Chains A and B, each alone.
Chain A
């Protein structure tokens, strides 16, 4: 087997002190970037590009890839610990991770997340190595109709996020979708709902919205209760999940890793959509779906595995076609070019050692990430058990610095506060905020591809293309399934 020989060669290249040190540094840096809200994986990679100038091409590549891989995991840490998603995709980890923390079991959530992220990442890497060519070919068939169908399918996740009140969930989703239309219309250049504010020409930035809706609203809400000021969390247990517990998640993690990787392959879909869909599927598969949103380990593991899986997935089109599968890989392309490497099929021919060295480095990287993550959990636990009165202002300050870092703009910081107030008002009256995010993520995908598809053909395009048709049918089933299930349950 040629691949194995090449891979072995890659391992040989990596198993030296310097490359291993670079991987370890990249992983640590990645976790740091992930933990800081506002520094997305893509920004982390971009910020490290100047550091990689002086390095050998392979070393530069493994540094950046390690940062990318670890940042996706790092985001889940703050999501679980303080309800502040450090990266956009980590938002799904807040759904169940933060409730677990509130119940005094952050150790279980954090432990599960690191295990799931590691396994998901390894899964993604294996798929990347063995199936990248056919997967990339398939991803190219994704036209506007398919992207639109994917967005519609994604929107059916509302039913998982509704927390029992579907009217409010729909309103929240529609608010997100509507917020998404603010800014310059990509098809005509017309400024929609911008009220002549130039900062709004690109719409609201996603990360400040995320931080505001989750982190700030949580703090505002928790302050309403006067007695909870001085107390720390009751009995924070540092207990890690038991092996048996984790073993019970094996199907969930496998499934989520595969979903994460596959969606990661599709350019423009990305880790966040992957995490949402994996979460939804995990809930559907679960024996106890009612626990989701209240602290189900399955929710935490689904999000972690899918997010990490998407890393390997996003590298598939990058290495086989030279097309970035995510924002981070777009930066990777630029960095590779600085080193005279052009990503794409020719890279496998001309620089196979670099490619297989990268693959090998991912295995090492995830191993290091697991160790660092597992040990680091004790530190996070310490931070969580700090008094609320000290922790809460710090979280607010992190929110400020995080939203500022997105584009060095005070406008983002103000919009973060605005979203915080919006989230507080909504949550005060039991409107879930997760669907707002879902609307923000999928609105653009849905609208641009809908209109693009119509530019290319007529309305039938959505039903004549097989992948699109299948996904639309799945979406319909997914939306009606809960009701059908209820009917059947009654009959019995």
Chain B
């Protein structure tokens, strides 16, 4: 009955929604009267009971609630739009709504973890791309791709070398000749190091027997802009990148045969190089352990979608290929890609061959901490007037900078940039912090006689509010957004010693209702529903 608090509801459950809203309204009326501590306990308790009650009535048929697709990138990215379109088309084949939820961070690790933390009931699907393979190998996140079952590969997009039509170097042969002339100085543009496109470049250099310099950009489109401005020679991407950009041309594609949309573009194979089938794939996976009945349902659903004319039209519009690889073939590809990625990550020096991380035993953190305590303590004993907020902050920054500087000693020098490795900029900023914190201490000491005193100020209230917020964030996870926010708002107002109950409660309830309206109803941004209600 209260599944409304639980997951986003499908439309045919409107009955439930009304009854819940009614309940909600009644509560808001009762709330002022029972608003003591007992109310705060009873209130959630009631919902827990109602929730358990409601779930015992639900039949065990898959699917009986919306299925969520977890996307690792922000709304608007290629995989996000693909997934949303997929969810859209899925409506034709199932009554169960598919919802897209973005869980960003860690280049996909966060999304993978999120799915692994869910039950193996098939209600949480992970949208995957080939980039996950590098992500997992590079990250220390402890996620293993074997923990997933890759059940449907929906899109493949061949990798391609793209050049500028106005530049001297345009075709594959010219690229090779130019690369040999430049002897490793030829600039190849593309997204970040270790990604799919970078590994494609490394593989190309390997198979073509040339060398290049990989110039990484934040995203594909930044690199495309750089190619248009002729800041480099080759861009590694996909055929779609040339769409609507007449200045760009495809030099070669990594497909088994020529692409029907680009009949003039040669493949690597016909030029005599063994790069036959390098694609960027997009597919879907669930956590290993999902029942086979559920797997069959999902696999069947996705296969139907893959044959849908609207889907085929949509994918073709992005110059990619709609496909359907079932679990066997998809998993085989993932396995092969993993071995290959490892090889080229090592070749590109992104991954070290010997994976032993040598951790230096360093006492610097301890020394930095001791130094901080020592300075403050000595100051307090001998020069009381020197110790104030500013000097303590400056000393802290000084000691922290030393500690962080010590960390930068572990950073690799980086083959990619002999002149400026990953440590260069952090060190520069740390030098600055050390210099300015010392300067600040000196100026404060010189002016210490006219020290300002903070009158009429107390840190108790802010600390109390911070504590309240910490509590709020903790219950947010279990009780869900709507509940905990209501409690927090009321508690917050009381804490600031405000006593107009009617104002407080109506404002809190009004805000929660408004945020539900804006985020959930209008913008359809999912808010945490709370572990209790899942």
Residues of A whose CB lies within 8 Å of any CB of B are 29, 32-33, 36, 39, 42-47, 49-50, 53, 139-144, 167-168, 170-171, 174-175, 177-178, 181, 184-194, 196, 198-199, 201-202, 205, 219-221, 223-227, 229-230, 267-268, 317, 321-324, 327, 330-331, 333-335, 337-338, 340, 342-347, 386-390, 392-394, 396-397, 400-401, 404-411, 413-414, 417, 420-421, 424-426, 428-431, 443, 446-448, 450-452, 454-456, 458-459
Additional 14 contacts, C-beta under 8 A, given A177-B432, A230-B497, A344-B244: A32-B518, A42-B75, A43-B76, A44-B523, A174-B436, A198-B109, A202-B105, A223-B465, A322-B244, A401-B485, A404-B528, A424-B462, A450-B420, A454-B420
Interchain nearest-CB distance for A76 vs B (Å): 19
Whether a CB of chain A sits under 8 angstroms from the CB of B221 is yes
B residues in contact with A44, CB < 8 Å: 523
Residues of B whose CB lies within 8 Å of any CB of A are 74-78, 80-81, 84-85, 88, 101-107, 109-110, 113, 138-141, 187, 192-194, 213, 215-219, 221-222, 224-226, 228-229, 231-232, 243-247, 314, 317-318, 350-351, 389-390, 393-394, 397, 404, 407, 411-412, 414, 416-417, 419-422, 424-426, 429-430, 432-433, 436-437, 439-440, 443, 454, 456-459, 461-462, 465-466, 469-470, 472-473, 476-477, 481, 485, 488-489, 491-493, 496-498, 500, 503-504, 507-508, 511, 515, 518-519, 522-528
Asked whether A392 lies within 8 Å of B458 as measured between CB atoms, the reply is: no
Given that A46-B80, A171-B397 are contacting pairs, would A450 and B525 also be in contact in the complex, using a CB cutoff of 8 Å?
no
B residues in contact with A45, CB < 8 Å: 76
B residues in contact with A36, CB < 8 Å: 518-519
Closest to B137 in A: A189
Asked whether A186 lies within 8 Å of B76 as measured between CB atoms, the reply is: no
Interchain nearest-CB distance for A184 vs B (Å): 7
Given that A187-B216, A201-B109, A343-B244 are contacting pairs, would A455 and B416 also be in contact in the complex, using a CB cutoff of 8 Å?
yes
Cα distance, A324 to B78, chains bound together (Å) = 14
Given that A174-B433, A346-B244 are contacting pairs, would A46 and B107 also be in contact in the complex, using a CB cutoff of 8 Å?
no
Residue from B101, B489, B525 within 8 A of A47 (CB atoms): B525
Cα distance, A220 to B226, chains bound together (Å) = 45
Asked whether B496 lies within 8 Å of A46 as measured between CB atoms, the reply is: no
Asked whether B404 lies within 8 Å of A193 as measured between CB atoms, the reply is: yes
Given that A188-B421, A331-B76 are contacting pairs, would A221 and B462 also be in contact in the complex, using a CB cutoff of 8 Å?
yes
Asked whether A141 lies within 8 Å of B229 as measured between CB atoms, the reply is: yes
Asked whether B462 lies within 8 Å of A226 as measured between CB atoms, the reply is: no
Asked whether A171 lies within 8 Å of B437 as measured between CB atoms, the reply is: yes
Asked whether A389 lies within 8 Å of B496 as measured between CB atoms, the reply is: yes
A residues in contact with B407, CB < 8 Å: 193
Interchain nearest-CB distance for B298 vs A (Å): 22
Asked whether B414 lies within 8 Å of A337 as measured between CB atoms, the reply is: no
Closest to A200 in B: B106
Cα distance, A289 to B11, chains bound together (Å) = 58
Cα distance, A194 to B141, chains bound together (Å) = 11
Cα distance, A132 to B407, chains bound together (Å) = 47
Cα distance, A42 to B75, chains bound together (Å) = 8
Asked whether A225 lies within 8 Å of B222 as measured between CB atoms, the reply is: no
Asked whether A417 lies within 8 Å of B469 as measured between CB atoms, the reply is: yes
> Sorted from nearest, which 5 A-B pairs have the closest CB atoms?
A393-B492, A344-B244, A46-B75, A331-B76, A342-B244
Asked whether B439 lies within 8 Å of A198 as measured between CB atoms, the reply is: no
A residues in contact with B491, CB < 8 Å: 393
Cα distance, A225 to B394, chains bound together (Å) = 25
Given that A187-B417, A330-B221, A389-B496 are contacting pairs, would A47 and B75 also be in contact in the complex, using a CB cutoff of 8 Å?
yes
Residue from A223, A405, A407 within 8 A of B461 (CB atoms): A223
A residues in contact with B457, CB < 8 Å: 224-225
Offer 16 A-B interface pairs, CB within 8 angstroms, sorted by A: A36-B518, A47-B524, A168-B440, A187-B422, A201-B107, A202-B106, A223-B461, A333-B221, A338-B81, A389-B493, A393-B491, A394-B508, A401-B527, A413-B476, A443-B425, A451-B424
Interchain nearest-CB distance for B215 vs A (Å): 6
B residues in contact with A317, CB < 8 Å: 225
Count chain A CB atoms within 10 A of each CB in B88, B246, B314, B426 and give the residue with the most.
Answer: B426
Asked whether A33 lies within 8 Å of B523 as measured between CB atoms, the reply is: yes
Asked whether B81 lies within 8 Å of A454 as measured between CB atoms, the reply is: no
Asked whether B473 lies within 8 Å of A417 as measured between CB atoms, the reply is: yes
Residue from B105, B213, B429, B481 within 8 A of A401 (CB atoms): B481
B residues in contact with A421, CB < 8 Å: 466
Asked whether B462 lies within 8 Å of A223 as measured between CB atoms, the reply is: yes
B residues in contact with A426, CB < 8 Å: 393
Cα distance, A424 to B440, chains bound together (Å) = 19
B residues in contact with A394, CB < 8 Å: 489, 507-508, 511
A residues in contact with B430, CB < 8 Å: 178
Asked whether A224 lies within 8 Å of B462 as measured between CB atoms, the reply is: yes
Interchain nearest-CB distance for A328 vs B (Å): 8
